[in-house]
Structures are given as structure tokens and as C-alpha cells.
Amino acid sequence: MDKKVIVSLKNVNKIYDGGNHVVKNLDLDVYEGEFLTLLGSSGCGKTTTLRMIAGFEEVTSGTITVEGESIAEKEPYERNVNTVFQSYALFPHMTIYDNIAYGLKMKKTDKKEIAKRVSEMLDLVQLGGFENRYPSQLSGGQKQRVAIARALINQPRVLLLDEPLGALDLKLRKQMQLELKRLQRKLNITFIYVTHDQEEALSMSDRVAIMNNGILEQVDIPEKIYEEPQTQFVATFIGETNIFEGCVNSIKGKDIDIMLETGYVTARSENTFNQNDMVVISIRPERIKYSEQPKTGFALKGIIKEQVYVGSVLKTIIVLPNGHEIKIERLAGQKIPVSGDVYVYWDIDDAKLIQSESNRIFNALNNIMFT
Amino acid sequence: MTRKNKKRLQKGFSIVYCCLIYLFLFLPITVIVTNSFNATTSKPYMTWKGFSTDWYGKLFDNTALLESFGNTMFIAIVSTLLATAIGTLAAVGMYKYKFKGKSVIDALLYIPVVIPEIVLGISLLTLFSNTNIPRGTLTLVLAHTTFSIPFVVFNIRARLSGYDKSIEEASMDLGAGRVKTFFNITLPVLAPGIFGGAVLAFTLSIDDVIISYFTNGQTKTFPLKVMESIKSGVSPDINALSALILIGTIIFVVITQSGVLSRNK
């Protein structure tokens, strides 16, 4: 199925006065009707990116197009995108009705039409009967719904949501996540959603875009983000993982032997690597295995440091001779060694091989010094 | 002493204390109002000669006094409008935008508030006479506007400290331009602060004596007129006018407070 691009960012940079470079060479295509999440820790540039699309921040360089049209010269009030703000940003001096009707009033819509659409919106967010209340009389979750209804009434092609659930408590947040997802499916509007909550991102999104220090690290469906991280940052940011740094020793087809500081291991990768490349191996705690006998292709010996039962899961920590600790999770009840020396191994498909950051630096240095 | 008695004593004491405070605050006002109904006709108008409303009648024959009151109201209204407009724009501008010398302007705002009024009065007089502006209603309006602006700015700034800028962004996001956003969102949200500032400016203007004394020329304001007549004792018609102003003020306060209360419900 060929999907239509609705929002496109090309080589977008944002540098604030004072030289703070918060968004770096961002390329991102958002498809029609998709739920895309910008995920990253605070200060990674995700909110700035959203604000550039909305028009509250100017783009330093690069272009943003919405529906194929550059929006560089358009003021926020001329763009066919609407925003749900983190702080809700409801107008405190207006009733819920007037808040939601605001967008239509600005368009000088007919009064009867406004009344009809507002009541539709109130039904959509399940707030019928709240027309004459003021924002200060609503709870956090209700305010959030009003903010969503207000942003949706102009029927935008794209809805931008800036950590909309950040101020809600956990239970309400879970409930609103489901509701947002339901709304998005029902209305088939493109959602660009900003959050720092990885669980929220993985559970709601069609695709997740992970940002770190202004750089877009990876854009993928949630499963691939978790299972096939393309960078070390993504591997460590999403869920728990074990990281090994090593050097490619030999390559036999897709199987790659890797020398570590404390032994050697094997991994398989679709990506191409060269001998002596520095690599990072990421392997999830639930995928690591260990036994009392060495396995072919692996020579990684450690000592069981401790084991903790956490309900259905048994957490084990194994220490390697260099002090590196490996986190392992097993379903409780499996027959596995509980103490002493063990050999660590894994199914070679489970380990993810990533080009090491230091490899890139090494190559760059190489280019500078020998060309 | 039992605990119960102790509590009772504490309660009794606090009631007496409150009564004394209110007595202290309101006794002078009561004296003025009572004296305005005094039938006495001889100076110094202090001894009680029975109840009469004559002074209220005489008040409306005292054209000089009424004229001074008219001047005061005119100056107060004009200077309040000017100070409120300038102060609002200044407060919003200084909140929204970064510019060079902002901190200097910020600090300078405090000067009209902290320097003694007599210094401000003398400097304004010097300024007006050096620039050859004829002293009169115009200079009074200018002077009152000058010392009112900082109070308006401070009042609005207090309101701005809890102000969420993103509501303006939300307004623009929903299709309102900058001017519409200012009138639909910024102004109404800041209205209580603006109103408070305006009331303060109005009050300051009405009862200003010192600065008005230096800048009035031939125009007499009500406080100046009272000052003048005090040399021969406060005549009950001034008391009568004071009582009327008091009633006006009370009505105003009741209306605005009940408005605020119904809004907060």
C-alpha cells in the first residue's frame, strides 16, 4: 500500500539565539492518517520540532511542507494544523462552549452550525452537559478533553499533541491513551504526538521517531524499535538491555564472530560489517542464556552475583571478569544454575549488532589523516 | 483555670480586639458623617446643635466647591484612562519581549513610587515651567498620569505572573491573528489586573494633594480646596460632600465585590 506523505521535514535545523543547536538536519516524512510519536528525553528537540510545524518557532534552515506546500511563510493562524498543549491552554475567561467554538468563530462560521459542531465535539469527548462551565471547574482529565475538542473542531489534517497527558495521574493517563487512540482511528486524522514516556509511545503509535540531542536516531514501527534498534542510544533508551562492546574478528556469511574484552561471542546481522569494525551488541535481558557447559561460538565466562525473584520473573546478575554486569531475566521455575561459574550465550538471532559510535569517529579520523 | 474557661477567655479577648480595630478604623469616618448633619452655623463647627440636612442643601450652592470637585473627577478620569492604557501596554510589552535596557526601565519604574512626593512635585513644576507649559488642568493630568503609571504596571504584572503564554499561542493556532488574540484573550484575561490598576490610579488621583499643589496653577482640585478652607475650620458642607463621596465609594465597592463573588462561584 502506497501511503501519502502529509507532513514532510527536509533537512530541518533549529539554532536558538546564543547558538543552542536543538534540532539537527532532521528528515522526517509523516503519512496521512498515521499516529507518529516523537520520543526522547527532555531537551532532545522533540517539542521544538512540533512547535516548528505549528508555527510558533521559526525554522533556522530546511523546509517543512504540509500537504506538499511549504509553510515557511505561513503564520500559525494560517496553517491547517492544530495543537493540543501540554498545559491545556484553555481560555480561563470563556465557558467550555466558547472555548470549543473559538476556532469556528474565528472562521466566522454560522451560529447554528457552530452550535451543532460544538455539541458533536462535546459528545465525541464525552463531555455533554459541560457547555456552561468554566475551565477552572473541570478536573485535569476533563480539561484535556476540552483541549482536544477545541483543537479538533476546525477539522485539521494534522493534530499536534505536546505531551498532552503529562499532567495526569497514571490511571487517568492510561485511560486517556486508549481514548486518544480511539479518536485517532475514528477520525482518521494524522497525529504527531510528543512524549518522553516510552511505554506510551510504544503502545499508541503506528510509528515512533526517537530523538536524541536534536538528532533523529530511528523511525520505525514500535516492534522494530524494540527488537531492532539501529543505534546504541535507541537500544539503551527503549527498555532494558545489555550492551557489549567488541571488535569483528571474522565473518562467515551472516554469522559474525566478535572479540570482547573478556571473551568472544557470535551474532548474526543483515547489515554488512567488515573485519576489525568496532561494534556494539545489544541483547535484551530475557534473551540471554547461561549454562554450566560452554557453547560453540561463545566464550564468555562469569560468576552469578545475585538472583532475585520478582513474582513470575527471576532476575539474575552475572559478573564478568572485567566487572561488567549482565542483567538476565528468566521465567521463574525453569531449571537453571543458581550459583558459581557459568557460560553466557544466546541464540545468535537474538543479539542486535550495531555499528559502534567509536567506529564512526575512527573512520572520520581516518579520512582526515590519510586523504 | 479549666481548659474550657481558657478557650472562652481567648474568644472574648479576640472579639474585643476586633472591635477596637474596627473602631479605630471607622470612628473618624463616623465623625465626618455625623458632623455633616450638624445644625451648627458658627465656627469652628464642632459643637452639636441638633440634626439638620441644611449643609447638603448649602453644598449645592457652593459653586466653588462643586467646581473643584468637578475638576478632581475630570482629572482623575482622564489621568486614569491615560495611565491605564500606557501602563497596560508597558506591562504586557515588558512581559512578552526581550530588549536592551529592559532591566533599566524596570528599575526606573520604582522611582516615582519611592521618591518623596514633594520631590516629584518640585521636579514636575520645574519641568513644566522650563518647557513653558501653562499650569492648569493639563499639567495636573500629566502629573497624575506620571505617578499612576507604575501602580498600573505593578498591578498588571502581578496578574501576569500567573499568566500562561500558551493561551495566546492556542488562540493563534485556532485561527486568530495577533490583534484579535490581544483583544479576545490577552485583554480579558488581564482585565482584573487592569481594572485593579485603574481603580488604584483613580484613587491616587482623587486624593493627591502635594503634587497637585505644585502643578495646579489656577485650577483648584477638591483636596486643594479642602486644604484651603481648613484654615478656617472644616465647614460642614465639606463634610457633606465627603459623606456623599463615601456613599459613592461604598456603592462602587459593593457592586464590584459582588461581581467578583458571582464570577468565582
Give the best residue of A50, A77, A163 to mutate against chain B (max B CB count within 10 A). Answer: A77
Q: Are residues A123 and A253 in the same domain?
A: no
**What pLDDT sits at residue A93?**
92
- ∠ CA(B117), CA(B120), CA(B125), 5° rounding? 125
On chain B, the residues whose CB falls within 8 A of the CB of A55 are 172-173
At B264 the pLDDT is: 47
Is the CB of residue A85 less than 8 Å away from at least one CB of chain B? Answer: yes
On whether residue B183 sits in a domain, the answer given is yes
pLDDT at B226: 83
In the predicted structure, residue B180 carries a pLDDT above the cut 90? yes
Together in a domain, A267 and A310: yes
User: Is B154 contained in some domain?
Assistant: yes
Distance from CA of B51 to the nearest CA of A (A): 50
Domain span including residue B134: 64-236
Query: Is residue B110 a part of any domain in this protein?
Result: yes
What mean pLDDT do residues B249-258 have? 84
Please tell me whether residues A121 and A190 are part of one structural domain. Answer: yes
Q: Which three cell numbers stand for residue A204?
A: 499508541
On whether both A209 and A246 belong to a single domain, the answer is no
Contacts of A150 in chain B (CB under 8 A): 170, 174
Q: At what angle do helices B222-229 and B63-96 cross, to 10 degrees?
A: 130
**For chain A, which ranges sit under pLDDT 70?**
1-2, 335, 371
Do A199 and A218 share a structural domain? yes
Window from A170-179, B38-47, B66-75, B171-180 with minimum mean pLDDT: B38-47
**Domain end point (choices A207, A233, A259):** A233
We report the CATH number of the domain holding residue A199 as: 3.40.50.300
Residues of A in contact with B183 (CB under 8 A): none
- Strands A158-162 and A81-84, bridge-based pairing: parallel
A270-299 b/e with 16+ CB inside 10 Å = b? eeebeeebbbbbbbbbebbbbeeeebeebb
The CATH number covering residue A301 comes to: 2.40.50.140
How many CB pairs (< 8 A) connect A and B? Answer: 61
Residue B90 pLDDT level (bands cut at 50, 70, 90): very high
Question: Domain range for residue A309?
Answer: 240-370
Regarding an ipTM greater than 0.85, the answer is no
Across the interface, of B172, B176, B189, the residue whose CB is closest to A92 is B189
Decide if A63 contacts A10 (C-beta within 8 A).
yes
- Helices B187-206 and B236-264 meet at what angle, rounded to 10? 170
Closest CA to A76 of A44, A53, A60, A106: A53
Which of B164, B169, B176 lies closest to A56 in CB terms? B169
CA distance A216 to chain B (A): 26
- Is any Cβ of chain A less than 8 angstroms from the Cβ of B246? no
Name which of A88, A184, A193 is nearest A140 in CA terms: A88
Residue B262: pLDDT band by 50, 70, 90 thresholds? low
Which among A326-340, B159-173, B222-236 has the top mean pLDDT? B159-173
Structural domain includes residue B39: no
* B16 in any annotated domain: no
Co-location of A129 and A255 in the same domain: no
Q: How many domains does chain A have?
A: 2
DSSP A162-181: ESTTTTS-HHHHHHHHHHHH
Q: Do A31 and A178 reside in the same domain of the chain?
A: yes
- The A215-220 sheet, strands edge to edge: A81-84, A158-162, A190-195, A35-39, A207-212, A215-220
Q: What's the gap between Cα A280 and its chain centre?
A: 21
Q: Which three cell numbers stand for residue A122?
A: 462535546
Give the CATH number of the domain where residue B137 resides: 1.10.3720.10
Residues A250 and A326 in one domain: yes
C-beta atoms of A87 and B164 within 8 A: yes
User: A282: helix, coil or strand?
Assistant: strand
Averaged pLDDT score across all residues of chain B = 87
For every residue of A129-156, DSSP letters joined together read: T-TT--GGGS-HHHHHHHHHHHHHTT--
Q: How many domains does chain B have?
A: 1
Q: So what's the pLDDT on residue B265?
A: 40
Q: Which of A237-246, B37-46, B73-82, B157-166 has the lowest mean pLDDT?
A: B37-46
A183 and A251 assigned to the same domain: no
Last residue of a domain, one of A233, A248, A282: A233
Per residue in B26-51, pLDDT tens? 998 888 888 888 777 776 677 777 78
Residue in A with minimal Cα distance to B165: A89
Indicate whether B3 belongs to any domain: no
